Amino acid sequence: MNILHYVILVFISIHSSLALSSQFSPSNFLSLWHSKHLYKFGDDIDLLVNTVSSSQSNIPYAYYKVPFVCPPSSSVKPVHLSLAEILNGDNLMQSDYQLVFGNDSPCLRLCDRIMAKRNIIKSIDLIKQNYIVDWVIDGLPASTTFISDNLTERKKYYVPGFPMGFVKGDDAYVNNHVLMVIRYHKEKDNQYSIVGFEVYPKSVNDFTCPGASKNFEHTKLDASNDFQLIHFTYSVYWKEEPEIDYNNRMKLFIDPSLIDSNGKLLSKPSNNNKAIHWVSLINSLVLATFVSLVAAFIILINFRSSIQSASQSSFAQISQNSFTKPRFLPLLSLLTGSGVQLVFTLLASGILSSLFLRKSFANDSKILALTIFILIIGGFFAGFSSIQLLKLFSTRGEQLSIWKTSLISSLSGSMLISLGLAIVVVVNTLIFSKDSPRSMKFSNFLQLFILYIFFQLPISLIGGLISRKFNLFTNLLSSSLDSAPYTYASNKVSVAKTPLYLRFPFSMLIIGLFPCGIVFIESRFVYMTLLSERATTYLLGFLVLSAILLSIVMIEIGIISTYIRLLKNTSQYNWQWWTFLNCSISIWLYLESTSLYQLLKKLKTEGSTSPFLFIAYSSILNTIVALTCGTLALWSATIFIYSIVLISTKKKD
């Protein structure tokens, strides 16, 4: 089969994956922008209910599973979700709230619900854990409004979600009345867009709407009662907003961490919180610059001294003897292939998402959908790179068979999804009993399995088969090493006794310092975002910039650490594993320590399930970062030594 056939197969696979993805996602799996809806006065508006969640618990619940909300009528239907929304745990449903564009409704009655004793106890527990309600109108989350205390510049800010109730002393009160203020902006003649969805929840002890009055009794949940009757009402008001248009409607949202326990705005978020990210970014830039200077110095010294002196220096001779076959080379190829897939996925999805998906919180599911698609395409690069690494370090003259190529390339591009599915099965088993929307149905697992079998495996296999026909490194390396003095003569070259800082675990602790300094501050915001599920839109851009700086630092650390290792260590045998494990496990240890610190000191989790879920999810994230760092370090070190061999041989000739 020639190269043209391979290219055609790749195109067919990508085209087929796009077609299947559109079937999985009725809301357009690859849609990168939230479509702009224009309304007229009198149009019906859908209010979608989603989930309730809390920063004190990792267990969200579907809205209609909460024991003290009005049950849906027979006309209420679930909203079709994309695969990404399913994986994100969304549970969007229609509601019985009647909203007509432009029509104010001072008081509407939703339902009267009689709660049993067990539901009263459960409701009290949810309110005391500060569960937040997630509603959506036109892609906008229902939001709590805050006004800054700055008398010279009083501004309004939004935080997504609103509380289910409040606690006063030892008593819990349910918010059974909501006052909704929906703000709209005039776009064209008689056409308007929705730019704000404010919810003001109240606890009222009867079926009348309080309006602007403050003299009313609250509805206290009493666990001593066998039954309790609760009245649910709502009010709707429409306000024109001439200053905020559709494109800027997300600018009023702030970071939830800037709200204290009393519901007060801690500081001006537009400057303070972004300043923290800028300080973090500058700190990362300083660290990256320092490591870059060290790497540049090493490369300059080596190229000027070692190479120009007819390759007689220790490092030049050692580097020519460094392309030996390490132990467990297929496993190393699998891990680095998966790392290449992750690097491609994280950078590509991060850059595209930060450029095109920053205007709406409703784009969270689209970001996940885009990531899934890029992950599948990244399987091609995983298969290609794993075979290249395998050929580069294999014994000379060793032929790579078709079956071995197929096995390694297909596994390197699909191993992550396989492990991910296994972890999801375990986690799903734990949270299924909690009736959480995070627990997926069998049909959802079937969709993931179809993606794995029919798309991820073939794309990875195609990448490996193409790589088998290409020799990006091996041809030039073989011709150069033929004239080298120590070509595969021995796996061990005595240089000096191994220094303490090159031995485990000291080497891991030292190597991980600089990468940890880059990701430490941003990791705090990542954990806060994941647990509160209410992120600010500018966070993604800072994460992408930090990821790029981290990639640069890991490339340079791979060169520096390997350079010192080959000069100072007594053996070059298995240096590939030394570089990969040091640069991956080191940052994993630092990140895992940060995760445990967040769990023990910062997060208010209750029960045994929530801490387990946090540890499971954070470990997955930390492993992904570690695998990408180890892959970048190994490939950079390999290319560096490869360049030394080529240039030194040419100088000698």
Q: HEC profile for 11-40?
A: HHHHHHHHHHHHHHCCCCCCCCCCCCCCEC
Quick one: what percent of the chain has pLDDT higher than 90?
19
Quick one: what percent of the chain has pLDDT higher than 70?
66
Work out the average pLDDT over 561-587. 80
pLDDT confidence tier of residue 2, bands split at 50, 70 and 90 = very low
Name, of 109-123, 145-159, 382-396, 609-623, the range with top average pLDDT: 109-123
pLDDT, residue 21, reads 34
* Burial class (CB within 10 angstroms; exposed 0-12, middle 13-18, buried 19+) of 188: exposed
Does 618 score more than 70 pLDDT? Answer: yes
CA 62 to chain CA centroid, Å, is: 22
In a domain, 96, yes or no: yes
pLDDT confidence tier of residue 597, bands split at 50, 70 and 90 = confident
pLDDT confidence tier of residue 527, bands split at 50, 70 and 90 = low
In a domain, 151, yes or no: yes
pLDDT, residue 652, reads 56
In a domain, 574, yes or no: no
Work out the average pLDDT over 519-524. 68
Structural domain harbouring 82: 44-267
| pLDDT, averaged across the chain | 75
Give the bridge partners for 49, in sequence order. Answer: 93, 135
Work out the average pLDDT over 248-253. 81
Lowest mean pLDDT among 31-40, 285-294, 558-567: 31-40
Sign of the torsion formed by the C-alpha atoms of 148, 153, 154 and 159: negative
Question: What tens digit of pLDDT does each residue of 141-182 get?
Answer: 899 888 766 544 557 888 888 999 999 988 999 999 999 999
pLDDT, residue 30, reads 31
In a domain, 84, yes or no: yes
pLDDT confidence tier of residue 14, bands split at 50, 70 and 90 = very low
Strands 99-100 and 162-163, how do they pair?
unpaired
In a domain, 221, yes or no: yes
pLDDT, residue 530, reads 52
How far apart CA 6 and CA 468 sit, in angstroms, is: 12
Name, of 187-191, 366-370, 611-615, 639-643, the range with top average pLDDT: 187-191
Question: Per the omega criterion (within 30 degrees of 0), is the bond before 71 cis?
Answer: no
How many domains is the chain partitioned into structurally?
Answer: 1
pLDDT, residue 62, reads 84
Name, of 181-185, 249-253, 491-495, the range with top average pLDDT: 181-185
In a domain, 573, yes or no: no
pLDDT, residue 196, reads 92
pLDDT confidence tier of residue 285, bands split at 50, 70 and 90 = confident
pLDDT confidence tier of residue 608, bands split at 50, 70 and 90 = low
pLDDT, residue 405, reads 86
Work out the average pLDDT over 512-540. 62
Work out the average pLDDT over 586-606. 76
How far apart CA 451 and CA 444 sit, in angstroms, is: 11
How far apart CA 467 and CA 479 sit, in angstroms, is: 20
Work out the average pLDDT over 283-304. 75
- Orientation angle between helical segments 269-301 and 539-568, nearest 10 degrees: 20
In a domain, 576, yes or no: no
In a domain, 117, yes or no: yes
Does 326 score more than 60 pLDDT? Answer: yes
Question: What tens digit of pLDDT does each residue of 428-486 get?
Answer: 666 555 555 455 566 667 777 787 788 888 899 998 888 888 777 665 555 555 443 33
Does 184 score more than 90 pLDDT? Answer: yes
How far apart CA 322 and CA 100 sit, in angstroms, is: 73
pLDDT, residue 33, reads 36
pLDDT, residue 610, reads 63
pLDDT confidence tier of residue 609, bands split at 50, 70 and 90 = low
